[in-house]
Structure 1
Amino acid sequence: MKRLTRRALPARLLPVLALAAPAAVALGAAPASAENAPVSFSYADCPDSLPVGADPGDWICNNIVIAGGTMKIGSIEQKITKPISMTVQTGYVPATGQNRNIFVKLRSQPETVPGGALGIPGTEDVPLMKLEAQTKYVGNFTLGQTEAGGIASTIDLRIKAINTLLGNDCYIGSKAEPVKLNLLSDDSTITWYDDALGMTMKDTTFAAPGTSGCGLLGGFANVRSGLPAASGKNSASLQMYLASKPYTELFPTLRAKAKSRSATGMLPLGLPKALKTGS
């Protein structure tokens, strides 16, 4: 996976793909929408501070929302019905001549697992039988471009299994052995919205480790989930939206500290509103 350069990106993609930091996006004539993306973006988790020496005029805060899709891990196929959001800082580092990504936070909510703890349809809301799954971030977030010109992203996750009998530390995967997604865009789904970029991201090659921290019921949890599951037995298809705002817009106090870089010839990470809306 190679990096996307800010200079080569189409104007409306610069704000949302600056977090990828990476070379020209050969997406062709991806469809454009005159509307905003069908999700809500929040910048509440954007820190009001930047690395020492950073120029606020060179930094943006990105909000990524997984609004739907499915994940099949072992024998469990889970629909995503509640948004998963991620906040990432991105900025230009003069010393290296590159952008730097700082992963800030992942927010998710528990999702009800079909079939509950025993895998029996209709038992999802029966006391002690209810099973929920919640996505947790482990590390290794990247966003960039493939040699073929598509968009790629990596992220390491673990999935918390929530059930009264499993305790509070039962996960599919662990910090040491996470679920490692290597997502590729379905380029036919890429859409430029007025405020964001949307696409479907897929991975059918990742392996799923067994459970951890489930105590005496760990063996049962693995049998119920069909884990561990080798590559080819798992899949992810995620509807993803990316949006961003310049730090000088988010925090007026930082705007006063921003330096003009017009003399350097570098493209700023934040764009005028006219470019953001594609006008």
Structure 2
Amino acid sequence: MLNTTADGPRPSLARRAAVTLAGAAALAGLAGMCAPGSAYAEPGAATARSAADFSDCPALPAGVDPAHWRCEVHTAAPQLTMGGVTATLAPITMTHAEGPMPDGTNGQVWGAMHTAPTAVPGGLNGSAAGEHSRQLRLAIKPEYGGRSDFYTGQFSLRFRLLSPLLPQGCTIGASAPIDFQLKRSGPSQWVSQDPPLIKFSAYDDAFAAPAAEDCGPLTGPLNRRLGLPASSGNLMTYDATYTFRMYDQLPTT
């Protein structure tokens, strides 16, 4: 698995980030500036939807045949190396629809994405204290970035950073989401025919990770702590299963 750290010797950067963060946290005025507690949610506070949950299936485009369109629900267990951080993310569930458009071209409609925050090892300052002190805890939560093409394996994500000392908008990819181009690690496998359940693995080792933005006075120390931006050395592995139903077989409400 690929891994990178911030530019320059990692120990000195880690010490610099730890000193900066500890000093900032001690300032009485920082709590007000960063709105502590407004953005932080404990990892595991929300969970991904069940793979059998079709409630997020989107409305179809006008003029298409529901019998030829299917709603796909896939659940993934991603592992992420981005900058100086490696984490196993909480399960992600994505729902979308796909099928032929009236002109014969391939069509897709985005549905929804659900996941939960994942604790970042070392917390805000990269130490054991950062993991165990509530004020210094740090979690990361993927959010849909607004672009997807499930025929080609392309989709975009932003990564919200959550901590009692960070403002709500603190996000990696805030200005422009990270674009992933997943490549299959091998052929898909049918786990079950009825109901349909297909398993696959994919990865992207070529994406660039931007700096975190909108993180208030801790933006600089946080990016040094996370080793961001990182133009190379990043990796997402993506083990997933998906199921589907044709739209004419979905329950009506």
TM-score (norm 1): 0.68
The list of structure 1 runs, each at least 4 consecutive aligned residues, that deviate by more than 4 angstroms after superposition, is none
| Structure 1 equivalent of residue 146 of structure 2 | 139
1:96-245 map, 5 Å: 96-121=103-128, 123-144=130-151, 152-174=152-174, 176-187=175-186, 190-194=188-192, 195-231=196-232, 233-245=233-245
Query: Counterpart amino acid of 1:58?
Result: H
Task: Quote the offset at 1:139 in angstroms.
Answer: 2.4
Counterpart of 2:73 (choices 59, 63, 78) is 63
Query: Counterparts of 1:179 and 1:41 in 2: how far apart (Å)?
Result: 28
8 Å CA contact 1:60, 1:244 repeated in 2: yes
Task: Quote the offset at 1:69 in angstroms.
Answer: 3.6
| Structure 2 equivalent of residue 45 of structure 1 | 56
Query: Counterparts of 2:128 and 2:236 in 1: how far apart (Å)?
Result: 22
Gaps in structure 1 of 5+ consecutive residues: 1-38, 145-151, 254-279
8 Å CA contact 1:41, 1:65 repeated in 2: no
Deviations 1:205-258 (A, max 9, x none): 111000111111111111011000012x211111111211011111358xxxxx
What is the identity percentage for the equivalent residue pairs of Structure 1 and Structure 2?
A: 29
Query: Counterparts of 1:106 and 1:113 in 2: how far apart (Å)?
Result: 21
Task: Quote the offset at 1:164 in angstroms.
Answer: 1.1
| Structure 2 equivalent of residue 19 of structure 1 | none
CA RMSD, Structure 1 to Structure 2 (Å): 1.7
Task: Quote the offset at 1:118 in angstroms.
Answer: 0.8
Deviations 1:70-99 (A, max 9, x none): 10010000112x2101110113212x2122
Counterpart of 2:85 (choices 76, 90, 97) is 76
Query: Counterparts of 1:41 and 1:226 in 2: how far apart (Å)?
Result: 38
Query: Counterparts of 1:88 and 1:132 in 2: how far apart (Å)?
Result: 27
Query: Counterparts of 1:252 and 1:92 in 2: how far apart (Å)?
Result: 22
Task: Quote the offset at 1:203 in angstroms.
Answer: 0.9
Gaps in structure 2 of 5+ consecutive residues: 1-49
Query: Counterparts of 1:156 and 1:110 in 2: how far apart (Å)?
Result: 18
Aligned residue pair count: 201
Task: Quote the offset at 1:122 in angstroms.
Answer: 5.7
8 Å CA contact 2:75, 2:242 repeated in 1: yes
Query: Counterpart amino acid of 1:59?
Result: W
| Structure 2 equivalent of residue 270 of structure 1 | none
Query: Counterparts of 2:63 and 2:167 in 1: how far apart (Å)?
Result: 45
TM-score (norm 2): 0.74
